[in-house]
């Protein structure tokens, strides 16, 4: 069954706790936390204090997506009892292996993400060390963008390596995911999907999560 991680980037920040309750009622698996610094990506979102406001207000674990430069400097800020994954970008980490070990040494699962123009082959050496690989299906920075179909081929390639080498990372996809393309994405090998505008832009957010969870 698909694991769904709605992105609160598309939620109403004025009613964040209520919005999170809605996705929880619908059966969401994670809260996807999109952190943007205005350097690695051309947009600024929010930081750890906003995420921490949800502590005690939801049972859902956090799936943190750091779209920032120098992530090592900020990793500790995002560690809470409910932080399950912290994902950094391959493109933002000169010493990716060290960053991944740093995350895992804090008792949190480590993820690595690649942008649409970055090939899967750049992850070859780090795959045995990571708990999750996040394939970006839009250029990171904004919610509500159109799905880039080339991501499907990258998911297939990753799924093949995972099977061939008997590795156990989760394959996640992020960007432009809708009820229309979710089946195709899962067929390619995705186990966990992020959805922002497709969830929080719905008239009935709880029902939309239920619809995703039918897949």
Binding mask 76-105 for ligand DX5 (x = CB under 6 A): ------------------------------
Tokens of residue 90, six digits: 């391959």
Residue 34 near Zn ion by CB under 5 A? yes
**Interacting positions 115-174 with ligand DX5 (CB under 6 A):** 138, 140-145, 174
Place of tokens 């947009």: 43
| Residue 138 binding partner per list Zn ion, ligand DX5, none, with a CB distance cut-off of 5 to 8 Å that depends on partner kind | ligand DX5
Instruction: Between 160 and 190, name the residue whose CB sits nearer to Zn ion.
Output: 190
Residue 111 near ligand DX5 by CB under 6 A? no
Sheet holding 170-174, edge to edge: 3-6, 192-195, 170-174, 132-136, 109-114, 83-89, 62-67, 31-36
Q: Which residues contact 13 (CB under 8 A, 6 or more apart)?
A: 46, 50
Question: Are the C-beta atoms of residues 27 and 207 closer than 8 Å to each other?
Answer: no
Is 19 tagged catalytic? no
**Interacting positions 17-76 with ligand DX5 (CB under 6 A):** 32, 34, 65
Of the residues 19, 34, 37, 63, which is catalytic? 34
The neighbour count for residue 65, using CB atoms within 10 Å, is 28
Tokens of residue 36, six digits: 């943007």
Query: Which residues contact Zn ion by CB under 5 A?
Result: 34, 65, 174
């Amino acid at each position: 069954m698909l694991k769904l991680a709605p992105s609160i980037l598309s939620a109403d920040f004025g009613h964040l706790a209520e919005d999170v309750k809605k996705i929880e009622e619908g059966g969401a698996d994670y809260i996807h936390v999109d952190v943007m610094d205005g350097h690695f990506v051309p947009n600024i979102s929010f930081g750890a204090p906003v995420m921490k406001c949800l502590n005690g207000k939801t049972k859902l674990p956090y799936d943190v997506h750091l779209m920032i430069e120098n992530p090592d400097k900020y990793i500790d800020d995002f560690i809470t009892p409910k932080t399950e994954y912290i994902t950094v970008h391959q493109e933002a980490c000169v010493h990716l292996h060290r960053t991944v070990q740093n995350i895992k040494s804090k008792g949190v699962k480590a993820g690595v993400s690649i942008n649409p123009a970055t090939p899967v082959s750049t992850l070859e050496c780090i795959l045995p060390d990571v708990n999750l690989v996040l394939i970006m299906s839009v250029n990171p920075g904004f919610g509500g963008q159109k799905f880039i179909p080339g991501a499907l081929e990258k998911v297939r390639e990753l799924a093949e390596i995972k099977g061939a080498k008997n590795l156990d990372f989760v394959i996640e996809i992020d960007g432009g995911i809708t009820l229309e393309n979710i089946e195709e994405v899962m067929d390619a090998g995705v186990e966990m999907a992020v959805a922002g505008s497709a969830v929080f832009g719905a008239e009935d957010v709880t029902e939309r999560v239920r619809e995703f969870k039918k897949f």
